[in-house]
Each structure stands twice: as structure tokens, then as C-alpha cells.
Amino acid sequence: MKDIKLKDRLIFALDVPEVDQAKDLVNQLDDSVTFYKIGMEMLMTGQYFPLMDWLLAKDKKVFVDLKFFDVPETVGRTIARLSQYGATFATIHGNQALMETAAENKGDLKILAVTALTSLDRGDLDDLGFKCDVQDLVISRAKRAFEAGCDGVVSSGLEVPFLREYVDNKLIAVTPGIRPVENDDDQKRVVDVATAFKSGSDYIVVGRPIKNANDPYVAASNIQEIIKTCF
């Protein structure tokens, strides 16, 4: 068993266009969320790192979701600098050399390799030139990430059971695309909260189902209650 606090298993995707909106949401969510993911949209505000510092000062954990993808040496230097800021997770997206270099420079930062985005389905992967099954692609990338020294992967809950079968259980599995059964947005390979954890996920990332709720605090608290029943 990994040493993960129950409340930390819910990561809220702080995907809003302005820092003030982000802070308002964090204040609304209060003690219902302890872990926040901040991504590319927030980077464009120019206040990404001040927001990270603000979250850390509130004793929140931070997941830097920028999916670093460049030549390995550049990514390695970037990860080395990022490791000084106090974030818990950071995502990378690339080949074996990139993953190895990121792992070599991570310090206390945990590196998550992206397997296959949850917004992609079989047709999308065909268009991108991946002729293998989604499941095979995810398992292959997860194995390579673990061998490279990465701490974990970002994976749909649909593929997590196969990761647990074929990859060392030390690998952290972070599952985005958590939705109710009825889903009509751009996420295609989705599961619900209980299914994600029963399948072997260590963390889930939830955005719109909390952000767009009438009461985000209640929505997040309800998810936390479901998580308690899974362990």
C-alpha cells in the first residue's frame, strides 16, 4: 500500500482563465480539497508561480500539469529548476531519453509520464499513426516510464487494471477524465470515482463536475465520501 492520505487522492483541476477565479474556487472548496492541478491556461496569466506559492502557503499540494515535451536536455534542465518550487507532481510527454533525463533531474518532485490523453479514442489514435490498441499503447508507455525512473503515469481508469497486471505496483497511477456515467463533453475514455479506485488508481483528477456544480464545496465533499468507501 502506498502512503497516501485519503483527502489527497482527489486532485482538483484548477482550469480557469484568471488567477482571481482560481483563488475564489480554492477559498470556496476550503478543506474539501487539499491537492490542486494547474495547467497551461493558468500559465498564460503570467502569475503561474505566484499562484503556486499561494497554494503552498495554504498548505495545499500542487500538480504542475504542463506536459513538458522538448529535447531531453532542455526538459532535464526545466525539471531541475521546477523541483525547487515545492510542487508534488509534474507531467512530461515524450520518448525514453526524455523520461530518463527528467527522472535524473527530479529531486523531490514526482514525475508523471502521460500515456494516452483521455480525450483520445481509437479513431484519434489512428489519425496520429498509433496502430496498436489503446490498452497496449498505455501498458507499453507505462513500462517504459517505470524503467526510465519516472514515479508514475497519467492514465484513463479504463487502462489502470492492465497497468496493475503488467507494471510494478510502485508505479503511481493518476486518473483524469472522471465523469458521471452520462457524459457529453470532450472526454471520451472516462470512468466514475469508485470505478477508478477499484481499478487501481492512486489519485483522480476532477475538474468540471466540481467547478460547474451549484455548490463546488458540496460536490467535492461528496467525492471525498465516495473515496472513503473505496479503501
Q: Which residues are catalytic?
A: 67
Task: Say what the alpha-carbon torsion angle 28, 221, 184, 118 is, to the nearest 10 degrees.
Answer: 100
Spacing of C-alpha 109 from chain mean position: 14
Residue identified by cell 482550469 is 15
Asked whether 68 and 90 are in contact (CB, 8 A), the reply is: yes
Alpha carbon distance 40, 17 (integer Å): 10
Alpha carbon distance 163, 42 (integer Å): 31
Alpha carbon distance 97, 115 (integer Å): 15
Burial of 3 (0-12, 13-18, 19+ CB in 10 A): exposed
* Cross-strand bridge partners of residue 172: 152
Residue identified by cell 525539471 is 79
Long-range contacts of 42-45 (CB under 8 A, 24+ apart): 42/14, 42/15, 42/16, 45/17, 45/18, 45/19
Backbone φ, ψ for residue 203 (5° rounding): -140, 155
